[in-house]
């Protein structure tokens, strides 16, 4: 869709034909692909096959039926299934199979009829209501609300009863009950596409309202309508069977599944109970088949929702634990030499993380090594997709498994290797001596609990104190993070706070148990510029006051210069350079670092030339180049860069993953 949207925006809407074509493509490609997906599962085929059988019975019943469905045979009453009567006979000796086949015609007719009637009425009302809006929409929706407050079966019973029992009246009654739901669906779907580019474009070139409704909007809301319509067929069948069961639809002796069930219930409940099984099963199986096809269509039309279908874990039979990233055992030794000395608080060595993809595992963090000393601030820098967030989550083992898996390396924190720790040990460390703050404080705070609940919980998970002590501590922390009117904030919910306040709460929560290490994953990215500065100031103050070590993940080198002692730069899942802040800023040793530095806006740059941009984007697993991963975007690339993977090499200031690092002089100036 995005491609089509873009195309529609780029073209000048020159001809109606062009707009037509765009709208067509938008609708059609979606439907075709979806049908293919819907039929990918065998259950959908079986269900479709069964429905085809029901349809065949309905259309050619009089040919297939072994006996006339209403023919009474008193000599053959209540016969058990046999070669002459496959499903036996009822109390009047009527062949049950023939009656089931005859009932299929009723089931199909009434379902199609009632859904059809409901659609024919609901589609125009819903479309007009959505398109015209205003009071028309208001009035329509009030009627819909009113109608929806009737229990459907009660309404159907009342209407069918008042009109008088017959199949046609049953169909009318059922379609009346379906009408309000359909109107609401059509209106809702139409509202959603009303402002799409192709609709606006059609309007701007003067297509009539009727044309827009019928040829632009209707084709593009067909998927929800197809789904709802197919599921409604099942509902209609169920309702008709219910009405026949109560004697308000077809009249005896005509056979419908509901009336057969009723008849068997009345005369054979205590004597031949198996006669009840067949009509009931016919109804249930048909509805099951309709639901299966309908669910298949729904899943296919919304590919995003695949949660249930995903075959997790691929071919591996690894046992995963919720809340703890799985580590492949045994963790292979890595080739990269340890970068820092043994005094480091956190030492990441050769960390490699894979994600289970549709076509096998994809390595997203590849052999990454760095360390953070006590009281030190390390910046982990890179563009989106460089693997820096995955690295930080992997250290805390917070990546979901599946799909994530740590397949190599070690993460030493203090005396422990976190990759060998079990869940209990990680629980003690998390929020205790190592804590984390995340990028988006709104979605990272639980919307259903107050600030106090969430802060006190973090404290009480690690300290054995009572509620009151935890509350006091929570307030203390809010003061520490300079929360305005801290005492009143305690009983607030996250949605009542501003973005900056929420991030202060996140910080307070992370620091409440006085951790040694704070991992901050882009903590200011989602905030306004002025609030960003305040939070950074706060972090700097807290770091000094509490003697914290911080691993600061960011894409913003300007922030790094402000806050960090050392910097590690990541690109496409690999570490490409590591150095002290001073060295990195004055003499970067990797072309990517140089590019990042040149992309930082300068206060002194009053010139009119545009800000430097590194051409291209971070490659994905599918587009990963050979040789140096940065070479397609590198202005210094030579033939040798394309051939072999590049290893980290020592430089005078740190490490760099560039074969030309010694011969080139990078500068931050243009």
Binding to other proteins, residues 118-147 (CB under 8 A): 142-143, 145-147
Assess 517 for contact with other proteins (CB under 8 A).
Answer: no
Of 177 and 220, nearer to other proteins (C-beta) is 177
Q: Which of 25, 136, 276, 374 binds other proteins (CB under 8 A)?
A: 276
Q: How far is the CB of 670 from other proteins (least distance, A)?
A: 39
Options 388, 462, 631, 633; binder of other proteins; rule CB under 8 A: 462
Closer to other proteins by CB, 52 or 269: give it. Answer: 269
Nearer CB in complex with other proteins: 120/154: 154
| Distance separating alpha carbons of residues 219 and 370, to the nearest angstrom | 55
Tell me which stretch binds other proteins (CB under 8 A): 71-79, 111-119, 434-442, 620-628: 434-442
Near other proteins by CB under 8 A: residue from 52, 132, 277, 485 = 277
- Could you say whether residue 253 binds other proteins (CB under 8 A)? no
Q: Which of residues 373-402 bind other proteins (CB under 8 A)?
A: 396, 398, 400
CB 159 to other proteins: min, Å: 7
Residue in 186, 199, 174 with CA at minimum distance from that of residue 140: 186
- Rule CB under 8 A: is residue 310 a binding residue for other proteins? yes
Closest to other proteins by CB, 462 vs 489, is: 462
Cβ atoms < 10 Å from Cβ of 552:
28
Contacts 24+ apart (CB under 8 A), 386-390: 386/570, 386/571, 386/572, 386/573, 386/618, 387/353, 387/570, 387/572, 387/573, 387/574, 388/553, 388/555, 388/570, 389/439, 389/521, 389/522, 389/553, 390/353, 390/364, 390/365
Residue 350 CB neighbour total at 10 angstroms? 20
Residue 269 interacting with other proteins (CB under 8 A): yes
Residues 343 to 362 in contact with other proteins, rule: CB under 8 A:
none
Residue where the block lists tokens 């009863």:
161
Q: Is 445 in the site for other proteins (CB under 8 A)?
A: yes
- Does 241 interact with other proteins (rule: CB under 8 A)? yes
The answer to the question of residue 265 lying near other proteins (CB under 8 A) is: yes
Using the contact rule CB under 8 A, the part of the chain among 24-32, 106-114, 305-313, 638-646 near other proteins is: 305-313
Residue 256 · residue 240 · CB < 8 Å: yes
For residue 363, say if its preceding peptide bond is cis, omega within 30 degrees of 0: no
Q: Out of 248, 340, 380, 658, name the contact with other proteins by CB under 8 A.
A: 248
Q: Per-residue x/- marks for other proteins, 472-501, CB under 8 A?
A: ---------------------x-xx-----
Count the site residues for other proteins by CB under 8 A: 84
**Whose Cβ is closer to other proteins: residue 86's or residue 423's?**
423
445: phi then psi, degrees, rounded to nearest 5: -95, 145
Q: Which is nearer to other proteins, 429 or 614 (CB)?
A: 429
Range in contact with other proteins (rule: CB under 8 A) among 61-69, 237-245, 559-567, 599-607:
237-245
Which of residues 67 and 245 has its CB atom nearest to other proteins in the complex? 245
Among 270, 464, 615, 663, binds other proteins (CB under 8 A): 270
Pair of tokens at residue 274: 């198996």
- Residue whose structure tokens are 């590591």: 578
The residue to which tokens 């899942």 are assigned: 573
Q: What is the closest distance, in whole angstroms, from the C-beta atom of residue 442 to other proteins in the complex?
A: 9
CB of 397 to other proteins, least distance (A): 9
Q: Which of 64, 163, 328, 531 binds other proteins (CB under 8 A)?
A: 163
Running DSSP on this structure, what letter comes out for residue 213?
I
Q: Residues 28, 36, 312, 582: which binds other proteins (CB under 8 A)?
A: 312
Q: Return the residue of 209, 316, 443, 602 that touches other proteins, per CB under 8 A.
A: 443
Q: Which CB, 64 or 163, lies closer to other proteins?
A: 163
Among 182, 245, 355, 571, binds other proteins (CB under 8 A): 245
Rounded to a whole number of angstroms, the minimum distance from the CB of residue 162 to other proteins is 5
| DSSP codes, 240-291 | HHHHHHTTSSS-TTS--HHHHHHHHHHHHTTT-GGGGHHHHHHHHHHHHHHH
- On whether the CB atoms of residues 26 and 1 are closer than 8 A, the answer is yes
- The radius of gyration of the chain from alpha carbons, rounded to an integer in Å, stands at 34
461 contributes a contact to other proteins by CB under 8 A: yes
Q: Given the complex with other proteins, which of 44 and 637 has the nearer CB atom?
A: 44
Beta-carbon contacts of 503 under 8 Å, excluding residues fewer than 6 positions away, are: 437, 441, 523, 524, 527, 531, 535
Instruction: Return the residues of window 412-431 that contact other proteins according to CB under 8 A.
Output: 423, 426-431
| Residue 555 burial class via C-beta count within 10 angstroms: exposed 0-12, middle 13-18, buried 19 and up | middle
C-beta of 20: minimal distance to other proteins in Å? 38
Tell me the closest approach of the beta carbon of residue 93 to other proteins, in angstroms. Answer: 22
Contact yes or no for 332/357 (Cβ under 8 A): no
E strand spans, 375-468:
377-381, 404-413, 416-417, 434-437
Judged by CB under 8 A, does residue 505 bind other proteins?
A: no
Alpha-carbon distance 22 to 203, whole Å? 14
Distance in Å, CB of 319 to other proteins, minimum: 11
- DSSP element (H, E) containing 567: strand 566-571
Which of 440, 476, 562, 565 touches other proteins (CB under 8 A)?
A: 440
Cβ at position 287, least distance to other proteins in Å: 4
Q: Taking the chain, what is the end-to-end CA distance rounded to the nearest angstrom?
A: 40
CB 516 within 8 A of CB 434: yes
Q: Is 88 in the site for other proteins (CB under 8 A)?
A: no
Q: Which residues from 592-621 bind other proteins, rule CB under 8 A?
A: none
Alpha helices for 521-556 (secondary structure H): 529-546
Cβ atoms of 130 and 194 within 8 Å: the answer is yes
C-alpha angle with apex 512: 506 to 516, nearest 5 degrees?
100
Is-contact 422 473, C-beta < 8 A?
no
Q: Is residue 308 a contact residue for other proteins (CB under 8 A)?
A: yes
SS3 (DSSP) at 546:
helix
Pick one of 64, 112, 117, 153: the residue that binds other proteins (CB under 8 A).
153
């Amino acid at each position: 869709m995005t491609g089509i949207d873009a195309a529609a925006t780029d073209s000048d809407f020159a001809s109606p034909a062009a707009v037509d074509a765009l709208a067509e493509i938008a609708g059609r490609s979606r439907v075709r692909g979806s049908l293919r997906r819907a039929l990918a599962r065998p259950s959908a085929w079986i269900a479709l096959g069964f429905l085809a059988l029901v349809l065949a019975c309905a259309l050619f019943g009089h040919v297939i039926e072994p006996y006339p469905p209403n023919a009474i045979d008193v000599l053959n009453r209540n016969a058990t299934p046999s070669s002459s009567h496959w499903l036996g006979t009822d109390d009047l000796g009527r062949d049950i199979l023939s009656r089931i086949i005859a009932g299929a015609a009723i089931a199909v007719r009434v379902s199609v009829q009632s859904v059809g009637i409901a659609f024919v009425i609901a589609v125009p009302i819903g479309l007009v209501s959505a398109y015209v809006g205003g009071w028309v929409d208001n009035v329509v929706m009030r009627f819909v609300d009113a109608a929806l407050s009737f229990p459907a079966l009660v309404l159907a019973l009342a209407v069918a009863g008042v009109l008088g029992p017959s199949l046609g009246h049953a169909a009318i009654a059922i379609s009346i009950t379906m009408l309000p739901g359909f109107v609401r669906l059509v209106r809702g779907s139409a509202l959603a596409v009303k402002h799409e580019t192709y609709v606006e474009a059609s309007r701007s070139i003067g297509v009539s309202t009727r044309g827009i409704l019928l040829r632009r909007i209707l084709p593009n809301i067909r998927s929800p309508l197809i789904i709802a319509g197919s599921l409604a067929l099942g509902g209609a069948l169920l309702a008709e069977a219910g009405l026949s069961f109560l004697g308000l639809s077809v009249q005896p002796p005509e056979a419908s599944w509901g009336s057969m069930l009723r008849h068997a219930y009345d005369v054979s409940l205590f004597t031949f109970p198996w006669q009840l099984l067949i009509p009931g099963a016919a109804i249930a199986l048909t509805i099951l088949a309709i639901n299966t096809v309908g669910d298949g269509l729904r899943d296919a039309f919304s590919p995003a929702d695949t949660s249930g279908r995903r075959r997790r874990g691929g071919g591996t039979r690894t046992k995963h634990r919720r809340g703890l990233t799985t580590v492949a055992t045994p963790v292979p030794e890595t080739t990269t030499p340890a970068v820092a000395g043994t005094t480091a608080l956190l030492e990441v060595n050769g960390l490699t993380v894979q994600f289970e993809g549709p076509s096998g595992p994809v390595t997203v963090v590849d052999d990454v090594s760095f360390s953070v000393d006590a009281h030190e601030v390390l910046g982990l820098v890179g563009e989106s997709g460089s693997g820096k967030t995955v690295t930080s989550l992997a250290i805390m083992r917070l990546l979901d498994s599946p799909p994530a898996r740590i397949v190599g390396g070690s993460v030493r924190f203090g005396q422990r290797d976190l990759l060998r720790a079990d869940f209990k040990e990680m629980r003690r460390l998390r929020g205790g001596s190592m804590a984390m703050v995340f990028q988006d404080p709104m979605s990272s705070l639980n919307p259903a609990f107050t600030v106090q609940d969430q802060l006190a919980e973090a404290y009480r998970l690690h300290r054995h104190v009572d509620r009151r002590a935890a509350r006091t501590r929570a307030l203390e922390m809010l003061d520490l993070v300079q929360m305005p009117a801290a005492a009143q904030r305690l009983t607030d919910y996250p949605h009542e706070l501003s973005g900056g306040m929420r991030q202060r709460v996140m910080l307070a929560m992370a620091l409440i148990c006085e951790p040694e290490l704070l991992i901050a994953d882009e903590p200011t990215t989602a905030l306004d510029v002025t609030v960003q500065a305040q939070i950074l100031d706060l972090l700097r103050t807290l770091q000094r006051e509490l003697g914290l070590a911080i691993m600061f993940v960011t894409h913003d080198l300007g922030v790094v210069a402000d806050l960090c002692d050392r910097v590690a730069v990541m690109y496409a899942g690999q570490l490409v350079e590591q150095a002290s802040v001073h060295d990195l800023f004055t003499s970067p040793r990797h072309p990517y670092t140089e590019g990042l530095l040149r992309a930082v806006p300068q206060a002194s740059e009053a010139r009119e030339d545009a800000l430097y941009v590194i051409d291209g984007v971070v490659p994905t697993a599918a587009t990963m180049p050979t040789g140096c991963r940065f070479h397609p975007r590198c202005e210094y690339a030579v033939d040798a860069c394309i051939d072999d993977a590049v290893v980290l090499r020592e430089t005078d200031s740190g490490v760099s993953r560039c074969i030309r690092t010694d011969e080139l002089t990078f500068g931050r100036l243009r």
